[in-house]
Each structure stands twice: as C-alpha cells, then as structure tokens.
Amino acid sequence: MRRTILLSFCLLLLGASAVSALARGMTVEERRAMRMEKWGISVPYFAQSSSLASSASSAKTNNEQRTTSNVVTGSISIPILVYHHIRPTQGYAKSTWSWKMSVTPSVFERHMQWLADKGYTPIDLDTFACIMDRSCGMPDKPVVITFDDNNRSQYDIAFPTLRRHGFTGVFYLVANRLDNRANILRDEVREMAESGMDIQSHTMTHAWLTTRTPEQLTGELAESKRVLEELTGEPVRHIAYPSVMHNATVRARAAELGYVTGSIMDPRNARDSEDRFKLPRIMMTDETVLERVMP
C-alpha cells in the first residue's frame, strides 16, 4: 500500500515537471496562441509562424460558438483596472494614499468573482493593442487587470486568485526591487510569467520620469526593459509611468525604445481613439462598485 502511494506521488511530480518544462520550452508566440485559444479570438498581428497561424485559426473555429463576435465593428472601449496593495485597510484614513491604493483581500476576491460571473475576459496588453489596432478579433467583454509596484500581496494573494479564476493579469514591475523580500522576487516573477501572467515595466527605480536627464530617462526605460526581458524570456512592450509623471519627451522616448503603450491613471475606459501612450486606467479601492465602472 505504501509503495503504491509513493509511486503515485512520484508520477504526479513527474507530470507537473513535464508540464512546467513544456511551458518553459514554448515560444512567446505559442504561449500567446494558447491564450488566444482560451479567449476564442483570431490570430494577432505578432504571429510569425505558419504553425501559430494554424493554431490560432483552429482556436477561432473551436470557440466560435461561445464568442459573440470575432469581428470588431464600430468604436472600441476596454476598461483597464489597476490595483496596488491587496491588504486590510482598517486604520487608514480615506484621505490617504495608503487607503486609496489598497483593497482588502475579500474585496479583491469579490471583484474577480464579479468579473467571472458577468462573463468578462481578462486579456494581456499585446492582445489589447492588437484589438485596438483592429489587427485581431475581440473576445466577449474584454478587460485588462493591472498591478503596479511589485507589492508582496500581489504574489501572495492576487496571483493565486487570478489563477483560480483562469484570469490573465498584467504586472507592471519596478526592476530594481526584484531582490527585496518585501516585494515579488525574481523566481516568483518567472513563475508568474510561466503561468500566463503578463510582466511589463514600471521603470528601473520608480523615478519621476519628467525630472530625469535624457540619459537617466533612457536608463529608466531601457534598463528595466532589458532586466525584465532577460528574466522572463518575453518581450516587454508596455510601461506604466510612476506617479503618472509623463510628458511628450517621456512618451516619445518610450516609443523610440520599443514600447507600444504607456499608461496613466484616469477613471474611464480606454478607447481605440486614445493616444496609446496615455492609456487611462481606473484605480480600484474598497468602495469601487464594478457595476458603475464596467461597460
């Protein structure tokens, strides 16, 4: 009996290791093709191989019945939500940023359950850009769920909650915080990326970009991009400006360095007519009523 249990446990471990190895061996495009299959949308603009095109085409066929429309007509509006801390808020006055940048674990779970119950489809930022450019179709009720600042609770609480619901989250990370145990660590970032989370840049040091010299600005944008790409093996194409500090110089330099979107805080949905480097995001608090925020 004991030998049977031990054998079963070993087989279970081998199976998990094989799945993990398979995920690590997949290309960026193949991982995204899998997400496309889950979301039921057509091949995106970043598809580069015939095998990916075939996979995405098959995904579209398999999901036609549960996807309302794979053809985008009319204007496009997609909400982008942003969370910072997932933690108790007792003791914080509502006038403080400590309260404004926090939701309790129970509220976060309630938000995710509401999105699931209402049929929303959380997507990554490459897919968001692809939809906005009308280079691929759109799933039912798309939403982008983002997180800023590497806060520990995002790994401990938000990440497992997202996985339980089968959701993709976007984590804007500050690259020089990856070795601080008060924040999300390097191995955990790799785990999140391999599990389908979208890892993007919140600069190198969380500096106010509008106050940097040209050389410092380039360092903040380019170095964070390099560090995160080397860590995850996936391209970093999207940035959230720390403290919403940006101007025309910052936006232009980001574009020159290979970013395709930049995000700010603005409580409204993002539209296809938006400047891609001033994407509005809606900050979540304990008092956010999703019925009033979501389309």
Q: Is 288 left (phi over 0), alpha (psi -120 to 50) or beta?
A: beta
**Ordered DSSP codes for 7-63:** HHHHHHHHHHHHHHHHHHHS-HHHHHHHHHHHHT-PPPTT--SHHHHHHHHHHHHHH
The pLDDT score that the predictor gives to residue 40 is 66
Q: How far apart are CA 26 and CA 34, in angstroms?
A: 10
Over the range 234-243, which residues count as b (16 or more CB within 10 Å of their CB) and which as e?
bebbbbbbbe
* CA trace torsion 15, 20, 25, 26 (10° rounding): 100
In this predicted structure, the answer to whether residue 238 has a pLDDT above a threshold of 80 is yes
Cα angle 127, 131, 137 (rounded to 5 degrees) comes to 100
Q: Could you tell me where the beta strands, DSSP code E, fall in 153-226?
A: 170-173, 198-201
Is the pLDDT assigned to residue 71 strictly greater than 70? Answer: no
- Burial (CB count <10 Å: 0-12, 13-18, 19+), residue 91: exposed
pLDDT digits (tens, 9 = 90+) for 191-237: 999 999 999 999 999 999 999 999 999 999 999 999 999 999 999 99
For residue 176, what pLDDT is reported?
98
Contact between 76 and 131 under an 8 Å Cβ cutoff? The reply is yes
- Using CA atoms, how far apart are residues 203 and 257, in angstroms rounded to an integer? 13
Q: Can you identify the CATH homologous superfamily of domain 78-293? A: Glycoside hydrolase/deacetylase (3.20.20.370)
Confidence of residue 295 (pLDDT cuts 50, 70, 90): confident
What predicted TM-score, i.e. pTM, was given to this entire model?
0.81
Delimit the domains of the chain by residue range: 2-63, 78-293
What confidence tens digit (pLDDT) does each residue in 4-15 have?
444 444 444 444
Of 269 and 17, the structure prediction assigns the larger pLDDT to 269
Is residue 109 left, alpha or beta, with left meaning phi > 0 and alpha meaning psi from -120 to 50?
alpha
**Spatial CA neighbour of 39 closest among 107, 109, 110, 130:** 130
Q: How confident is the model at residue 42 (pLDDT cuts 50, 70, 90)?
A: low
Strand pairing category for 270-271 and 77-78: antiparallel
Q: In angstroms, rounded to a whole number, what is the distance separating the alpha carbons of residues 263 and 241?
A: 6
Instruction: For 75-117, write each residue's pLDDT tens digit.
Output: 999 999 999 999 998 889 999 999 999 999 999 999 999 999 9
- Model confidence at 257: pLDDT above 70: yes
